[in-house]
């Protein structure tokens, strides 16, 4: 990298600056950092630095950048709903009535119903998939009744999950 005068060539400096700016200093480390943080958000900067081969300050910078860019949306405890008494997991497939304002109204109303864990808008015959956590059958009945009572819902088909085979919110870092 040094020329005959012992100075680092401008091309080499430019490449090194670009590598650092892009975040690739040898190995990016970003995907390793994300994978490790998804498994344990309490992992130390020192441990992440050892795993990535980066300095702790570089790891801290990358994490801050991922937070600022919205890649890391937050840190929170992952709570087991069953251990808190929410033994029933149900999936409701919802078809809305055709009305230009139905989407707006349902998109605001569905997430506000206590017991609704997630709401997804779909394309096709089913308009929404709603994941429901309930403490018992009476609680599930309350939620389903609230759904079928909504004027913007044409049809609701709710299924109870018998066994949870996999439930992981982590994004794969292949």
Domain ranges of the chain: 10-68, 82-160
Q: Residue 28's pLDDT is what?
A: 62
Fold of the 10-68 domain: Arc Repressor Mutant, subunit A (1.10.10)
Q: Residue 77's pLDDT is what?
A: 87
CB 122 within 8 A of CB 152: no
**Residues 107-128 pLDDT 10s:** 999 999 999 999 999 999 999 9
Q: How far apart are CA 38 and CA 129, in angstroms?
A: 25
Fold of the 82-160 domain: Alpha-Beta Plaits (3.30.70)
Q: Residue 76's pLDDT is what?
A: 87
Q: Is the dihedral of CA 55, 58, 62, 64 positive or negative?
A: positive
Could you give the C-alpha distances from 8 to 5, 13, 22, 23, in angstroms and in order? 9, 7, 21, 21
pTM of the model: 0.72
CB 107 within 8 A of CB 99: no
Domains 10-68 and 82-160 equal at CATH topology level: no
CB 96 within 8 A of CB 153: yes
Residues (pLDDT < 70) of the chain are 1-28
Supply 38's token pair.
């998804």
Q: Which of 67, 96, 87 is nearest to 137 (CA)?
A: 87
Q: Which of 111, 108, 112, 95 is nearest to 156 (CA)?
A: 95
Q: Based on the number of CB atoms within 10 Å of its own CB, is 8 exposed (0-12), middle (13-18) or buried (19 or more)?
A: exposed
CB 143 within 8 A of CB 133: no
Grouping H, G, I as helix, E, B as strand and the rest as coil, residue 147 is helix
Q: Residue 168's pLDDT is what?
A: 84
Give the neighbor-by-neighbor strand order of the sheet with 128-134. 116-121, 128-134, 88-96, 153-160
Q: Residue 170's pLDDT is what?
A: 86
Supply 107's token pair.
């998109």
Residue located via tokens 């570089």: 58
């Amino acid at each position: 990298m040094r020329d005959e005068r012992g100075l680092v060539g401008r091309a080499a400096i430019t490449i090194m600056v670009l590598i650092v700016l892009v975040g690739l200093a040898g190995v990016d480390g970003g995907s390793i950092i994300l994978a490790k943080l998804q498994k344990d958000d309490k992992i130390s900067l020192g441990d992440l630095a050892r795993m990535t081969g980066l300095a702790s300050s570089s790891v801290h910078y990358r994490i801050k950048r991922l937070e600022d860019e919205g890649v890391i949306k937050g840190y929170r405890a992952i709570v087991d709903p069953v251990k808190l008494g929410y033994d029933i997991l149900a999936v409701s497939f919802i078809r809305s009535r055709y009305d230009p304002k139905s989407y707006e109204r349902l998109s605001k109303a569905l997430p506000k119903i206590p017991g609704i864990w997630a709401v997804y808008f779909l394309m096709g015959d089913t308009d929404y998939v709603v994941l429901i956590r309930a403490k018992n059958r009476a609680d599930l009945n309350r939620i389903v009744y609230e759904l079928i009572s909504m004027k913007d819902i044409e049809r609701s088909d709710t299924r109870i999950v018998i066994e949870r085979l996999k439930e992981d919110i982590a994004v794969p870092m292949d």
